[in-house]
Chains A and B, each alone.
Chain A
Amino acid sequence: MIECLRETDVFEAIAFGRWPAAADADLRAHVARCPVCLDLVAVAVPLQCDRQALVRAAQPPTAAVVWWRAAIRARAEATRTAMQPIAVWRRVVAVCIAGAAAALVPDVWQWGRGIDALASFGVQHAAFILVALVAGLVLAPLAVYFALADD
């Protein structure tokens, strides 16, 4: 026998705090001779007791705190998801730059051989090169700003 017709009555008596003192004498007599209900009492009474103590001891955060944390986390996850294409694009750009740099290495090597000639040119036109560098450093950010600005 795995079930008893009076199981529900016994469990209700336990769950509503009537067991054993306030339970029907008839029900108590049944439990005393029914192995299924005896097991039920042996298990349900301590579990109910344990649950009630745990529920009383519980100190969950407020609903507002849980909601706030969930919203923050959802936002962070959304940001991460939205940033994924950008991160992929950045990786593509980095690979392209690395590829271009690798392709230029032989040319740079050749160019290095003519560095002596370039050095003499630099000494002769140092003032002109300096002015060009300063102009580039000042004008390049301005050019980028005006190119990207909406208005």
Chain B
Amino acid sequence: MRDVTVTELEQLAAGIAEAEATFQMDEEAFGCFYERTARPVWAYLARMTGDPRLADDLLQEAYYRFLRARPALDDEAHRRNYLFRIATNLVHDIRRRPQVDETAMPVRGPAETIDGQGGDMAAETVRRIDTARGLAQLKPRERELLWLAYAQGSSHHEIAETLGVKASSVKMLLFRARRRLAAVLRAAER
């Protein structure tokens, strides 16, 4: 076997420098964007996969793919939607593997109430477990729709952009998913 020559090493270095330049934003801009989006994206990944550790891994992967992608993104909202779209695709990839238990995770650490003021932690934990189980009974696409709409507060247009569905069909899909989850949660309350 022959050795690598100096010319080849130079070509190698040029390729590496080119790869580093392919990130779509500089480190400072990325830092600001990450601070605003990391926790919501992690929450989305954690609830969609049911596994906080998997969510940790997928978070890193999502930002890596986001940085390497070079789509024409005008503003923060589009970048955020694009990031959620990457996260959604990662969850779909994981779902094709057979081992994910989507009912498993209520929360990492002790449960907290919606207003953060303490309160009935046990009741809150039960409620969150019911929510997780209720979501697990829905189709993956329904879970994603409901989370984006009512947890994330995304508009129909943003949901369509994130999930790659027609904006005109979001309303109907959301209505059906909402009705199903409401029925499941009411049944759990009884």
Do B150 and A66 have beta carbons less than 8 Å apart?
no
In which size bucket is the chain A interface?
A: 35 or more
Say what secondary structure dominates the interface of chain A.
helix
Q: Say yes or no: A63-B39 contact (C-beta < 8 A), given A47-B150, A56-B116, A74-B68.
A: no
Do A43 and B39 have beta carbons less than 8 Å apart?
no
How far, in Å, is B44 (CB) from chain A's closest CB?
8
Interface stretch (choices A26-34, A81-89, A117-125, A131-139): A81-89
Is B131 engaged at the interface, CB distance under 8 Å to the other chain?
yes
Most buried by A among B131, B151, B153: B151
Give every chain A residue within 8 A of B12 (Cβ-Cβ).
79, 82-83
Most buried by B among A15, A82, A86, A94: A82
Give every chain B residue within 8 A of A71 (Cβ-Cβ).
20, 23
Say what secondary structure dominates the interface of chain B.
helix
Cα(A64)–Cα(B38), bound, Å = 12
Is B89 engaged at the interface, CB distance under 8 Å to the other chain?
no
How far, in Å, is B31 (CB) from chain A's closest CB?
4
List A1-48 residues whose CB lies under 8 Å from chain B.
Answer: 2-3, 11, 15, 17, 36, 38-40, 42-48
Is B59 engaged at the interface, CB distance under 8 Å to the other chain?
yes
Is B4 engaged at the interface, CB distance under 8 Å to the other chain?
yes
Is A55 engaged at the interface, CB distance under 8 Å to the other chain?
yes
Do B4 and A86 have beta carbons less than 8 Å apart?
yes
Do B181 and A63 have beta carbons less than 8 Å apart?
no
Do A63 and B1 have beta carbons less than 8 Å apart?
no
How far, in Å, is B114 (CB) from chain A's closest CB?
4
Binary flags per residue of B109-143, CB closer than 8 Å to A gives 1, else 0? 10111111000000010011011101000000000
* A residues adjacent to B (C-beta < 8 A): 2-3, 11, 15, 17, 36, 38-40, 42-61, 63-64, 66-67, 69-71, 73-75, 77-79, 81-83, 86, 90, 93-94, 148, 150
